A and B are shown apart, each in its own frame.
Chain A
């Protein structure tokens, strides 16, 4: 079964500093990987997805992630945090076939002024 592990439950940064949210995956196949963001009392918004094309994936709002097969990682980064980035971030792997999404436990990003 495919799974993801988000290595940090909380990450705190100052506005204007870089963001790194870490995710490792486990998959028997070439996986599809996603990062979703959830703001308080909101649904899930897709930030970016990897589907075996370029290993460096650019998403919305300045986020990007790099697929590293040798490390089974898919870390999310952003050069400069903004206050509006404060939210819960989920690393997600898709199961084969019918695309069941398997979510990590989430990382809460806190951004201080």
Chain B
């Protein structure tokens, strides 16, 4: 049973550039959530996708956008990168039918460094 996978594992960008991170959910899951974890801090919720729609969004600017594909995989896009965007980006998947009781399973993350 494949778990949550993310690519790439590491990425180095410069300020002003754009980046795309990818996530494949755990087999059978239909909901994908994205979190940003800055160094030494707990993860912060960015947004959640279900049925190819953004269902809920955290306190992140519009530079952060996403997409969910029919196969439930997802992308996180960040435009106009800032130094402060350097972080570990975590993807988590869950099953909508379990809403209210669901468990989110996390991938290993993509570490983004902005220079």
B42–A106 CB distance below 8 A:
yes
Check A61 for interface membership: any CB of B closer than 8 A: no
A98-B55, A101-B35 known; A43 vs B42 contact (CB < 8 Å): no
Check B24 for interface membership: any CB of A closer than 8 A: no
Q: Which chain B residue has the least Cβ–Cβ distance from A44?
A: B106
A75-113 interface with B by 8 A CB criterion: 90, 96-106
- In the complex, A103 Cα to B94 Cα: how many Å? 17
Residues of A within 8 A of B106 (CB): 36, 43-45
A44-B90, A46-B103, A98-B55 known; A103 vs B42 contact (CB < 8 Å): yes
Binds A, one of B12-20, B43-51, B73-81: B43-51
A32-B101, A51-B101 known; A101 vs B90 contact (CB < 8 Å): no
B56–A49 CB distance below 8 A:
no
B108–A105 CB distance below 8 A:
no
B48–A46 CB distance below 8 A:
no
Binding site for B on A (CB under 8 A): 32, 34, 36, 42-46, 49, 51, 90, 96-106
| 17 A/B residue pairs, CB under 8 Å, sorted by A | A43-B4, A44-B43, A44-B106, A46-B103, A97-B99, A98-B55, A98-B56, A99-B94, A99-B99, A99-B102, A100-B33, A101-B33, A101-B43, A101-B45, A102-B45, A103-B43, A104-B42
Binding site for A on B (CB under 8 A): 4, 33, 35, 41-45, 48, 50, 55-56, 58, 90, 92, 94, 99-109
Return the 9 tightest CB-CB contacts between A and B, nearest first: A103-B42, A44-B106, A43-B108, A98-B56, A43-B106, A100-B45, A103-B43, A51-B101, A98-B55
